[in-house]
Amino acid sequence: MNLITKITIILFGLMTILSCKKETYGLNTEFELDFNETAIVNVGEEKWTVKYTELTEESRCPPEAYCIWAGQVAVRIEINDHIQAVIGHHTEIPPSFEFKQSQIRLRGVEYNKDRNFGKEKHSNIRLIVD
């Protein structure tokens, strides 16, 4: 195996390890998750994992567009690797999900650049657990 191949393998391994990094948050602390990212939330004696898994709806007005309707947004999150919840700013989907007597609230959905509006892989969400 030549030197370039070894360096490539090492760099790929480091990037994989760094991309799996999970941030830890407490109650009543707003946090952001990029698409497919997981965070750990300390809730009393428990540690919950919260993962952003899907942008289920995005009908809000895109940047620099003129709309007569504000639109709606909804996302799917996964809690503790198996519980699925859809939360949103939507007339039929609530902006929070109750789990073990705590509320997980969606505070916002944003994109890294205006041109990426509506593209799931470029989105991030803001959540708070209280």
CB-based contact 89:61 (threshold 8 Å): no
Question: Using one digit for the tens of pLDDT, what is the confidence trace for 29-69?
Answer: 999 999 999 999 999 999 999 999 999 999 999 998 999 98
Between 10 and 94, name the one with better pLDDT.
Answer: 94
DSSP string, the chain: --HHHHHHHHHHHHHHHHHT--EEE-TT--EEEETT-EEEEEETTEEEEEEEEEEEEE-SPPTT---SS---EEEEEEETTTEEEEEEESSSS-SEEEETTEEEEEEEEEESSGGGTT-GGGEEEEEEE-
In this prediction the pTM is 0.81
Quote the distance between the C-alpha of residue 105 and its chain's center.
12
